[in-house]
């Protein structure tokens, strides 16, 4: 099966390497026919081209694998590929979460499919497991440590007693962080992954801006000191739950009890768990990023297409997000503590307190109306 590869960076280079090596008979059925690269400096392989048309207009190429990242030109190129009757595989969570409805509709109209295992959880077979679970069960909810960069930062801050900036720098030096680390530390990367997990888990599309999202940009050593002293670890968690006519979905730092399996996921690892009626909790732990783990997931999708083992239907409709049924106790540190009297249960320090049990919507409204760019919020596990 001939493949056109868009992008030859960290992930694209890994896809090319795995397919060229051909370690199994299934991989040997795949062939990278052409590779779209950014500029002449990347033209190190006879298959490389600077012109997307060389791939889009080649009728022998059945599948386009996109590993470019970014919104454009990735979105436009994949749309054109679908219109030309080519299946599409992508690792690009930001682009797909943003243009899911458009690309799925184009795929349906042209009798082809969009595959995206690598967009979420890197090498962890998370999307495939949701498909498989759903052959038997409805998924009730999922939660995950979906971002390796922030897990690395939080793990190191926790074990070393250091502050945020120092550990962000370390994560960047190790190559974990996105080029613009705000996608990682402000929770947007997890928001895209939660949105795409909802598509698989609940068969619904969402408006991504409705997913309540808090990151770890403002976390300080004193927040983790309080968590540690009270028997908690801190992790950035993305969750989704099926609630009939609505979906609840959010991204928020959580203070988890130390015996929670997620509290002990170290360094840059990811962990993701689904819950369904007969299977109960099913938890996956592994490398959520990196060249070969992510490329592995892309190649798995390519083999699915070649084998015609194609559970993708791409036939989803938008379901609204409503977080009023998500309730909990929240830890909030803010320089405007006087504004929070209505939801406060117990003061912890001069500028931090615990809320009474409230909905995420109430917490979010109180935080947004305080307009404090130093505020840190975490949900405290019951």
CB of 123 to ligand HSE, least distance (A): 10
Residue 184 touching ligand HSE (CB under 6 A): yes
Asked whether position 66 contacts ligand HSE by CB under 6 A, the answer is no
Q: Does 178 bind ligand HSE (CB under 6 A)?
A: yes
Alpha helices in the chain (DSSP H): 10-21, 53-56, 74-83, 93-110, 126-134, 148-160, 164-173, 182-185, 188-202, 221-229, 291-306, 360-370
Nearer to ligand HSE, 200 or 326 (CB): 200
Q: Kindly state whether residue 271 participates in binding ligand HSE, applying the rule CB under 6 A.
A: no
Nearer to ligand HSE, 67 or 241 (CB): 67
**Tokens standing for residue 192:** 């895209």
Q: How far is the CB of 148 from ligand HSE (least distance, A)?
A: 4
Tell me the window of 82-90, 131-139, 174-182, 221-229 that interacts with ligand HSE (CB under 6 A). 174-182
Please report whether residue 147 would count as binding ligand HSE according to CB under 6 A.
yes
Nearer CB in complex with ligand HSE: 196/378: 196
Q: Is 34 noted as a catalytic residue in this protein? A: no
The CA distance from 90 to 315, in Å, is 17
Q: Closer to ligand HSE by CB, 55 or 198: give it.
A: 198
Which residue is it, tokens 């030109």? 73
Tell me how many helices (H) and strands (E) the chain has: 12, 19
DSSP character string of 276-289:
ETTTEEEEEEEE-S
Q: CA-to-CA distance for 177 and 182, rounded, in angstroms?
A: 9
Which of residues 149, 274, 314, 334 is near ligand HSE by CB under 6 A?
149
For helices 164-173 and 148-160, give the axis angle rounded to 10 degrees.
Answer: 130
Tokens of 221: 């050593």
Applying CB under 6 A, the span of 57-65, 143-151, 217-225, 323-331 interacting with ligand HSE comes to 143-151
Considering the rule CB under 6 A, would residue 148 count as an interface residue with ligand HSE?
Answer: yes
Q: Is 176 in the site for ligand HSE (CB under 6 A)?
A: yes
Binding status of residue 291 toward ligand HSE by CB under 6 A: no
Residue 257 phi, psi dihedral angles, 5° rounding: -60, 145
| Active-site annotation holder among 93, 193, 200, 316 | 193
Residue 144 in contact with ligand HSE, rule: CB under 6 A:
no
Q: Is 71 helix (H, G, I), strand (E, B) or coil?
A: coil
121, 286 Cβ separation under 8 angstroms: yes
> Would you say 149 or 197 has its CB closer to ligand HSE?
149
Residue 364 contacts ligand HSE per CB under 6 A: no
Tell me, by CB under 6 A, how many residues bind ligand HSE: 11
Q: Return the structure tokens found at 237.
A: 């968690």
Cα–chain center distance at 188? 8
Is residue 186 a contact residue for ligand HSE (CB under 6 A)? no
Q: Determine the Cα–Cα distance for residues 177 and 355; give it in Å rounded to an integer.
A: 32
Active site residues: 193
Q: Note the residues at the interface with ligand HSE (CB under 6 A).
A: 122, 147-149, 176-178, 184, 189, 288-289
């Amino acid at each position: 099966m001939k493949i056109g590869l868009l992008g030859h960076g960290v992930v694209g280079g890994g896809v090319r390497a795995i397919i060229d090596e051909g370690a199994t008979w299934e991989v040997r059925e795949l062939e990278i026919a052409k590779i779209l690269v950014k500029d002449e400096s990347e033209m190190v392989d006879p298959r490389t081209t600077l012109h997307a048309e060389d791939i889009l207009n080649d009728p022998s190429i059945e599948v386009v694998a996109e590993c470019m990242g970014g919104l454009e030109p990735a979105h436009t190129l994949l749309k054109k590929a679908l219109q030309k009757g080519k299946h599409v595989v992508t690792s690009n969570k930001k682009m797909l979460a943003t243009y899911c409805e458009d690309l799925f509709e184009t795929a349906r109209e042209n009798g082809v499919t969009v595959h995206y295992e690598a967009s979420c959880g890197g090498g962890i077979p998370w999307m495939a497991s949701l498909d498989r679970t759903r052959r038997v069960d409805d998924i009730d909810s999922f939660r995950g440590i979906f971002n390796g960069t922030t897990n690395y930062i939080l793990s190191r801050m926790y074990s070393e007693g250091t502050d945020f900036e120092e550990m962000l720098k370390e994560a960047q030096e190790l190559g974990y962080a996105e080029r613009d680390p705000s996608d990682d530390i402000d929770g947007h990367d997890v928001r895209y992954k939660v949105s795409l997990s909802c598509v698989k888990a609940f068969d619904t599309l969402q408006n991504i801006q409705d997913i309540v999202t808090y990151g770890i940009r403002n976390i300080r050593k004193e927040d983790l000191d309080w968590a540690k002293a009270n028997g908690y670890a801190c992790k950035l968690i993305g969750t989704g739950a099926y609630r009939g006519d609505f979906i609840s979905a959010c991204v928020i730092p959580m203070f988890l009890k130390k015996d929670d399996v997620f509290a002990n996921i170290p360094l840059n690892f990811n962990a993701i768990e689904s819950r369904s009626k007969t299977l109960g909790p099913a938890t996956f732990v592994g490398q959520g990023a990196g060249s070969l783990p992510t490329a592995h997931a892309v190649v798995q999708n390519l083999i699915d297409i070649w084998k015609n083992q194609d559970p993708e239907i791409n036939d989803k409709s938008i379901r609204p997000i409503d977080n009023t049924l998500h309730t909990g106790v929240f830890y909030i540190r803010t320089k405007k503590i006087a504004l929070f009297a209505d939801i406060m249960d117990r003061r912890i320090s001069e500028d931090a307190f615990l809320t009474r049990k409230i909905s995420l919507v109430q917490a979010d409204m109180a935080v947004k109306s305080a307009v404090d760019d130093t505020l840190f919020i975490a949900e405290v596990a019951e």
